[in-house]
Structure 1
């Protein structure tokens, strides 16, 4: 679940407004008795939140099964262990970690009487995984796109330069970068007590005022997770499109049947990666735009105690991405489809 959904603030920090829809802040726990109107609002809010969380958990369950299948297929069948599929496997791993660890544990606090019961270590791990998996997803989407451009623009040179060992080393480096850019989450994660409740949140007050920190984080995420990737992906796919449709015919449509088959296979993989990147962008960009506008610059708000339908929509949209990727592989990747059928229908291959 994106970190600002449900009873969460922009950093994934637990708000203290659990017993009343009336006023509260990040350091005070309020226990006043709500009015009849407040009870009605709270009931509607809780119903909406409960439904959204159950949908999140269903999507996560589908994502766990589907991404596990992708990882198994690539690991099980030698023919699937190609250079582009190394990046696909790592993207599936990031999606799997997000679905099986972050989503269920983060949502569990909504149903628990004391909210966060998992301790400081799990608070740090759970929040860190959100950042690490988010960073990794972006980096592997970019890596897949660059690899596809090189495969189409310079197929001979790409074949000579690329190797699975080199691709695994690149993947390890991308995971390290993902961890490095999540250090601030690890450093500031903290379990805090509000009355009888506990919350897993970020406490950056030792280095910066909370509001300034949050604005900086939201700007960073918008730039690092939206603007920077698009500045790489748009030129990459523009040139890729040109190569595919206006490039040399001896590269795109080879004369020999063997070369023609290779070109068709290369173009199918390219099509699959293109759709994965497009879906990733459409799924995540609205979330970061809404969060930056609403929480970073406070350009709009909703009445206290009410859910923002726009925020709920973009949060739900982003949550579909880890679940939908494996289905894109199956629909657009011929080999993925064949081997997934073998596993699902026969149980062996």
Structure 2
């Protein structure tokens, strides 16, 4: 009896692992490994993804590390917006250092070789970082809206910003829990070679829940935040460019706000650019998920579905890299502080060298009073 006679049914599969696919589900009477035929990925798609990931790892890793150092090292840089930007940089740094190397190897070889725990961790951290970025951009927009459009209202202080950052990570980590619950690895044979697939596996009975969950993420973490940010920045731009903004200085501990209208306009312009880049980078990815979840048969029958996934994944992941480049290039203060990093480390090294030098102290015995009298 051949393998096809022993299988109960063949599921519909896609690259992300939804709908138990690309393997046979066997009867309990047979202790056999699943068989699979891994779909071909167009070489151009692999080249694009390889280029993006190879650039993203050093740019986001080194760039965001320097950005976080600058924003946290210098007291005058510790404004509320910069604390939130540092949080944004931390999420991008985490993806570049932790997730990108594993995902790049997996996508190129189409074989997960790092174990199930790492499969769950990489998928979970990747999505948590995405929603941390989204929610951080939204909180930044809310803070700027309050300061500029409603300057008489109490503004966010550094402690409130820290609490907001903790809430951002807690909310992002919570809404991604289903990903951790349903992500796993499966093993199967492909042309006589044991392969491992890492992805989300939802039961056929949970397809409605899967669609509802992904619609919730689409609306709650993409459409609604972008709509709110568009409203906030439209109001801010109208207020600034109609010259109705009167900057005020409210000094707070470790938080000296910018009181120059031209500089404020430049900052808002930079933040708007980051939001637009985020929207354009993740639009293809979210569109792909809708197409995949609501048109599974069309997705499965389309030969180039996996190749398209590689391209939209590359575009989405490039957002972190572009964020780093744009923020560093368009922020004069950050560029100036980054150029001072070698000087800071040289001063720190000289300070430690001086501390290691033991001073040569000589003790001279003083004559006592009796000897002086004699």
TM-score, length basis structure 1? 0.78
1:81 aligns with 2:78: yes
Give distance in 1, aligned partners of 2:336 and 2:200. 45
Q: Which residue of 1 aligns with 2:43?
A: 47
Is 2:68 the partner of 1:71? Answer: yes
Aligned pair partner of 1:106 in 87, 103, 106? 103
2:15 to 5, 9, 15: 9
Match of 1:193 among 171, 187, 196: 187
Which residue matches 2:127?
131
Distance 2:278 2:258 in 1: 30
Corresponding residue for residue 4 of structure 1? none
Match of 1:20 in 2: none
Seen in structure 2, the aligned counterparts of structure 1 residues 31 and 162 have a Cα distance that, compared at 3 Å, is closer
Name the counterpart of 1:331.
Answer: 329
**Which of 1 and 2 has greater Rg?**
2
Preserved CA contact (<8 Å) 1:222 1:289 = no
Matches of 2:150 and 2:128, distance apart in 1: 32
Between stretches 336-345 and 179-188, larger displacement belongs to 336-345
Deviation at 1:142, TM superposition (A): 0.3
The counterpart of 2:158, out of the listed 143, 164, 179, is: 164
Deviation at 1:262, TM superposition (A): 2.7
After superposing the two structures, state which structure 1 stretch, 190-199 or 76-85, moved more.
190-199
| Structure 2, unpaired ranges of 5+ | 1-12, 27-32, 249-256, 348-374
Q: Distance in 2 between matches of 1:266 and 1:25?
A: 60
Q: C-alpha separation between the residues in 1 aligned to 2:72 and 2:245?
A: 35
- Give CA-to-partner distance per residue, 1:16-66, whole Å, 9 cap, x none: 4xxxxxxx668884468x9xxxxxx94xx3523431331132232222222
Residue by residue over 1:290-322, the C-alpha shift from the partner in whole angstroms, topping out at 9 and shown as x without a partner, is 331344335954865435665544332222110
TM-score (norm 2): 0.73
Q: Distance in 2 between matches of 1:312 and 1:106?
A: 11
Q: How many angstroms apart in 1 are the aligned matches of 2:14 and 2:334? A: 38
Alpha-carbon distance, 1:219 to partner:
1.8
Q: Does 1:150 align with 2:146?
A: yes
Paired with 1:321 and 1:31, the residues of 2 have a C-alpha distance of 33
| Cα separation, 2, equivalents of 1:282 and 1:190 | 30
Aligned residue pairs total 316
Q: CA deviation at 1:192?
A: 1.7
Work out whether residues 10 and 291 of structure 1, in 8 Å CA contact, stay in contact via their aligned partners in 2: no
Match of 1:212 in 2: 208
Matched, 1:223 2:215: no
1:246 aligned onto 2:242: yes
Instruction: Give the Cα–Cα distance (whole angstroms) in 1 for the partners of residues 43 and 307 of structure 2.
Output: 13
